[in-house]
Amino acid sequence: MGVVIGKGGDMIKKIQNETGARVQFQQGRDDGPGERRCLLTGKPNQVDQARRRIEELIDSVLVSVLLLCYVHVLQNILCF
C-alpha cells in the first residue's frame, strides 16, 4: 500500500491529478493490521484510469520483489 500512497501522499495526489478520480484508503472492521480498502470515486473512465495506475504500481513492486528473490537464489546457488 505504501507504494500507492507514496511519500507524504505524493503518489495518491499524482494519480488523482492525472485521472480526476478520488483515491481513499479505509480500514474495514474485518481488515487485519496494515490492510486497507481502496475506494475510488469519480466518473467511470476516471475510476478505471486510477484503478489501472494503482494496479500497475502494485505489479511493478511485485516484479521488483520477484527479481530480487531470483537474484538472491542465483547467488546462493553459485556460492555452493
Each residue of 11-26: pLDDT tens digit? 889 999 999 999 998 8
Domain residue limits, the chain: 2-79
What is the spatial distance between Cα 70 and Cα 72, in angstroms, rounded to a whole number?
Answer: 5
Write the CATH number of the domain with boundaries 2-79: 3.30.1370.10
The whole-number pLDDT of residue 46 equals 96
Residue 21 exposed, middle or buried by CB count within 10 Å (0-12, 13-18, 19+): buried
Each residue of 28-78: pLDDT tens digit? 777 777 677 889 999 999 999 999 999 888 888 776 666 677 666 666 666
